[in-house]
Structure 1
Amino acid sequence: MQTDISSRRHFLGKMLALAGGSSVPFTMNLAAMGNAAAAGATDYKAIVCLFLAGGNDHFNTLLATDSGSWDEYRRLRATASTTSIALPAAGATGGVLPIAPNAAHGGRTFALHPSLRPLKELFDAGRVAVLANVGTLIQPLTLAQYKARTVALPTRLFSHNDQQAMWQSSQTEQAGGAGWGGRLGDLMASGNGNAAFTCISNAGNALFLNGRSVRQYQLSGKEALAINKLDGALFGAPAAANPLRQIVTGDASNPFQKEYAAVTARAINLQAALSGAMAGAGALAEPPPYINPNTGVAVVNSLAVQLQTVARVIAGRDALGIKRQVFYVSLGGFDTHDSQARNQADLLAKMAHAMAYFDDVLANLQGTDLRKQVTLFTASDFGRTFSSNGDGTDHGWGAHHFIMGGAVKGKDIYGSMPDTGVGHDLDVGSGALLPTTSVDQYGATLASWFGLSATQIADVFPNIGNFNTRNLGFMG
């Protein structure tokens, strides 16, 4: 009997996720905290997580280009000419793109991957910042402590599934539970006119958006998907005689059937509400053509389409009565063990193209500049090794990430830029970085801008109390 009950709960939980459902808050304390946070949410704010699935090679994303760093970079990454992952110098054809952070970094200079020109322009304009060497940590850690295993370490380092889970939830994949984006939503949902639209994914079911009470609403492509054939002609019967809606939503005496019908009816109503709000907000400019830097061929940028849909949802915020939202989008393919030079060039170009498009759309969304109210940040499984395996790189740990928005204190690099190469005091093997900033600190800084108090931030990020610095300063 217990197994049957558990199976039913699991099934209904899945249905609620598809329906964008929200269950009863897990404690009265959480509800009270959420009400307090939402009470101050008089304006609109949104956080967008852009997850680079597979583990982006940050060492070719942001590079140190002062002479000592560059020489070491070329020594370790310039392998055989046909497989080299080393990028050309600034000024050369296809060379790296120099950037000039506001803060001095001990005489070091920096550049971005040549595919990131749109992002360089946003960085120069002050709407993009870089957070250096951030990764999964439970507490501050030295190389000696890591080697001796004398302090707590994240479980199953260098594993895709586990490190994705740690980034998105501060727990391993096996632990399950709630993601920190979902926990943010828990605390803010009560201030929204419809809590079902607090956490929205346009990249499938995301652990990041799992809440303790709020469940994510899932989009697909450009739309909130409807149930097929619900209102039209069905098996030759005219639309007026279509019985499908009554079949899937009709009342029943069986408790399980009754609950299934209620969840389905709720899903239908939510889809209609969201689609209506998106349509009522009007059309948005389509993403400009994306040109593959390797082939010169124009293709559809799926990430830009995801962000276009996010912008359409944001445009419908007033119709839905929404004050705070957390979104999740994703771009895959970053596990570049081989063919890295070619594959990463395309992936980073897609990322920069999509982010620049999103910035342009938000600059004039229904006649309003919403860039100060929407912050996008990147995340990934982990960084990669500095040493080349011949044609690519292998799994690492710490990595560099981007934050974009009008509220970002841009044109700067936050955190601690590591030495270039291998064998330094942050090298855990082959140049893989021991992080100097934790994901909890990264998220806590965003959460503070979002409107959470120190107490609420500690509830969302269970390890934040282990770190002296809780706000990294990259948000205005």
Structure 2
Amino acid sequence: MTTPFTRRRFLASMAGAAGTSALPFAATLAAMGNAAAADNDDYKALICVFLTGGNDAYNTVLATDPTSWQQYERYRSSGSTSIALAPPGAAGGVLPITPAAAHAGRSFALHPNLGALKSLFDAGRVGIVANVGTLVAPTTVGAYRSGAAMLPRELFSHNDQQSVWQSSMPEGASYGWGGRMGDLLASGNSNNMFTCVSTAGNAVFVSGRNVSQYQVDAAGVKPVLSLDGYLFGTTRHPLRNIITNNATSNVLEREYVAIVNKALQSQAFLGSAMAPSGAAGIPAPTTYIDPNTRRATVNPLAVQLQTVARVIAARGALGVRRQVFFVSLGGFDTHDNQRTRHADLMARLAHGLSYFDEISANLMGVNMREKVTLFTASDFGRTLVTNGDGTDHGWGSHHFVMGGAVKGRNIYGSFPAVGLGHDSDVGRGALLPSQSVDQYGATLASWFGVPDSQLATVFPNLPNFAQRNLGFMA
């Protein structure tokens, strides 16, 4: 039975959209503005870098021991155009890395355009988590093929798996695990308005039940638009007049005025609090070199990360101790022309993360590396077998975690065999994940300050797994 959408329900939902601070908004702004009252020694931030489209793990982190490399070249060269990368030591070849812990005689490398990430890995500030993916509970290839496994809904669907990664639910979910962490920890902030922030538009990852995501443009604060338009499509209600006239007797107009005024005040407050861009504040990212055209090009990921840095630098003025951020880099659905397209994406990823690591070391005079952790996520991995000159939708994938609190220079989890017919292959080399998103996220959440007793609130499938912490955070 559908509950009628009454005026009471409408007002409740609008109040939720406006935020849930117990203080009147003006008083809250004053509290946020009192930088001296904010104890930023306890500050921590988590940044999700979402690689939209499904990143190809096989050409990102590669097993290079002879058996693995033979299988890699066999299946990646079987199409009309080879998508196999050159071996270690060859011109333009993959970049060898040496994890601190041995992996049963196996050797590894990174994509040749991830040189900056290799440097961070070698320096101990980047770790790799192998074969992470959406799981409800541990399963096997046999259970998957027989239909006996409990599986996430709508596997291999972009929209649904993006949502499952970010929220544990398929498309249509309302709350993400970044937002659920914000719900638990926002009480340590002077105001919850800037607890969860997205530079990539509406993202379920940073949506909570009580904490609303705050969206900023890649280059800064997003303005409130259409103030010279009309409410409800009628010329009797010009928005600017309604907003400046609080004497309206219409209940809906009063609620609308309250929400828009709050958005305008937040916009003005954050805009004035954010550290400036440029020499006097947060240095702008350099351009990166497109490996295909050799042209210097603006990197949208680095621009978003500069905005994140500007917000973090304003943590004292904002009165925040915990923040969750969402940024994204698109283009990873490489069904065709993969070798060229993926090369550019890897160059952008390495450039953006290296830039953020560098500025984090001296963020307005403070080294924030220990207090900020960045991690990658993606819809899913891709198949080992080429479809001609690209790859198709897979499942598990390898991910990077970066920061001063990361136990870097290591690969965590079971790195799968390369080839077909092994115990992680669900078909064409699509990988059955050996680590779940819930385990991956819970490891980050524990460092972030979520109590062990609350982890299952944030990650509903976590109780199904014996190992709750994958061990990659200090």
TM-score, normalised relative to structure 2: 0.90
User: Any conservation in 2 of the 1:41–1:324 contact (CA below 8 Å)?
Assistant: no
Aligned to 1:72: 71
Aligned to 1:189: 186
Which of 264, 288, 291 is 1:290 aligned to? 288
User: Any conservation in 2 of the 1:55–1:383 contact (CA below 8 Å)?
Assistant: yes
Aligned to 1:44: 43
User: Any conservation in 2 of the 1:24–1:213 contact (CA below 8 Å)?
Assistant: no
Q: Partners of 1:24 and 1:437 in 2: how far apart?
A: 37
Instruction: Summarize deviations over 1:410-434 as a string: whole Å, max 9, x none.
Output: 0000011000111111110101000
Instruction: Summarize deviations over 1:197-220 as a string: whole Å, max 9, x none.
Output: 000000000010110110000001
Asked if 1:440 corresponds to 2:438, the answer is yes
Superposition deviation, residue 6 in structure 1 = 9.0
Instruction: Give the count of matched residue pairs.
Output: 446
Aligned to 2:314: 316
Aligned to 1:164: 162
Superposition deviation, residue 103 in structure 1 = 0.3
Superposition deviation, residue 228 in structure 1 = 5.7
Asked if 1:118 corresponds to 2:120, the answer is no
User: Any conservation in 1 of the 2:125–2:404 contact (CA below 8 Å)?
Assistant: yes
User: Any conservation in 1 of the 2:285–2:302 contact (CA below 8 Å)?
Assistant: yes
Q: Partners of 2:40 and 2:146 in 1: how far apart?
A: 46
Aligned to 1:429: 427
Asked if 1:214 corresponds to 2:216, the answer is no
User: Any conservation in 2 of the 1:41–1:191 contact (CA below 8 Å)?
Assistant: no
Task: Between 443-452 and 40-49, report the one with greater CA deviation.
Answer: 40-49
User: Any conservation in 1 of the 2:50–2:376 contact (CA below 8 Å)?
Assistant: yes
Instruction: Summarize deviations over 1:82-122 as a string: whole Å, max 9, x none.
Output: 72100001121211000000000001000000111111110
User: Any conservation in 2 of the 1:200–1:326 contact (CA below 8 Å)?
Assistant: yes
Matching of residues 57-136 of structure 1 within 5 Å: 57-79=56-78, 83-136=81-134
Q: Please, which runs of 5 or more residues in structure 2 have no aligned partner?
A: 23-37, 230-237
User: Any conservation in 1 of the 2:40–2:316 contact (CA below 8 Å)?
Assistant: no
User: Any conservation in 2 of the 1:280–1:316 contact (CA below 8 Å)?
Assistant: no
Q: Partners of 2:126 and 2:152 in 1: how far apart?
A: 29
Q: Partners of 1:280 and 1:221 in 2: how far apart?
A: 14
User: Any conservation in 1 of the 2:135–2:436 contact (CA below 8 Å)?
Assistant: yes
Matching of residues 18-33 of structure 1 within 5 Å: 21-23=18-20
Superposition deviation, residue 172 in structure 1 = 1.1
Superposition deviation, residue 40 in structure 1 = 11
User: Any conservation in 2 of the 1:22–1:214 contact (CA below 8 Å)?
Assistant: yes
Q: Aligned in 2, Cα 1:23/1:193: closer, same or farther, shift over 3 Å?
A: closer
Structure 2 SS opposite 1:366:
coil
Q: Partners of 2:341 and 2:85 in 1: how far apart?
A: 13
Structure 1 SS opposite 2:49:
strand
User: Any conservation in 1 of the 2:275–2:313 contact (CA below 8 Å)?
Assistant: no
Letter paired with 1:253: S
Q: Aligned in 2, Cα 1:141/1:24: closer, same or farther, shift over 3 Å?
A: farther
Which of 1, 4, 13 is 1:2 aligned to? 4
Aligned to 2:267: 271
User: Any conservation in 1 of the 2:275–2:311 contact (CA below 8 Å)?
Assistant: no
Superposition deviation, residue 222 in structure 1 = 1.4
Structure 1 SS opposite 2:193:
helix
Superposition deviation, residue 78 in structure 1 = 1.5
Quote the RMSD (CA, aligned, Å).
2.3
Instruction: Summarize deviations over 1:346-387 as a string: whole Å, max 9, x none.
Output: 011101100000000100011111001000000000000010
Superposition deviation, residue 2 in structure 1 = 2.9
Aligned to 1:353: 351
Q: Aligned in 2, Cα 1:9/1:171: closer, same or farther, shift over 3 Å?
A: farther
Q: Partners of 1:207 and 1:402 in 2: how far apart?
A: 21
Which of 250, 257, 261 is 2:257 aligned to? 261
Q: Partners of 1:305 and 1:60 in 2: how far apart?
A: 25
Q: Partners of 1:427 and 1:5 in 2: how far apart?
A: 53
Q: Partners of 1:304 and 1:5 in 2: how far apart?
A: 44
Structure 1 SS opposite 2:42:
coil
Q: Partners of 2:92 and 2:149 in 1: how far apart?
A: 44
Instruction: Summarize deviations over 1:222-256 as a string: whole Å, max 9, x none.
Output: 1112236979xx9xxxxxxxx97554243121110
Q: Aligned in 2, Cα 1:297/1:42: closer, same or farther, shift over 3 Å?
A: closer
Which of 132, 142, 145 is 1:144 aligned to? 142
Q: Partners of 1:9 and 1:61 in 2: how far apart?
A: 48
User: Any conservation in 2 of the 1:224–1:271 contact (CA below 8 Å)?
Assistant: yes
Q: Aligned in 2, Cα 1:8/1:390: closer, same or farther, shift over 3 Å?
A: same
Q: Partners of 2:49 and 2:19 in 1: how far apart?
A: 24
Structure 2 SS opposite 1:258:
helix
Aligned to 2:383: 385
Q: Aligned in 2, Cα 1:67/1:259: closer, same or farther, shift over 3 Å?
A: same
User: Any conservation in 1 of the 2:242–2:253 contact (CA below 8 Å)?
Assistant: no
Q: Please, which runs of 5 or more residues in structure 1 have no aligned partner?
A: 26-38, 235-242
Aligned to 2:201: 204
Superposition deviation, residue 185 in structure 1 = 0.3
Aligned to 1:55: 54
Q: Aligned in 2, Cα 1:230/1:471: closer, same or farther, shift over 3 Å?
A: same
Q: Aligned in 2, Cα 1:222/1:40: closer, same or farther, shift over 3 Å?
A: closer
Q: Partners of 2:162 and 2:297 in 1: how far apart?
A: 28
Q: Partners of 1:135 and 1:228 in 2: how far apart?
A: 38
Q: Partners of 1:318 and 1:336 in 2: how far apart?
A: 42
Structure 1 SS opposite 2:263:
helix
Aligned to 1:227: 224
Structure 2 SS opposite 1:98:
strand
Structure 2 SS opposite 1:50:
strand
Query: What percentage of residue pairs aligned between the two structures are identical?
Result: 58
Aligned to 1:468: 466
Structure 1 SS opposite 2:455:
helix
Structure 1 SS opposite 2:113:
helix
Matching of residues 296-335 of structure 1 within 5 Å: 296-335=294-333
Aligned to 2:234: none
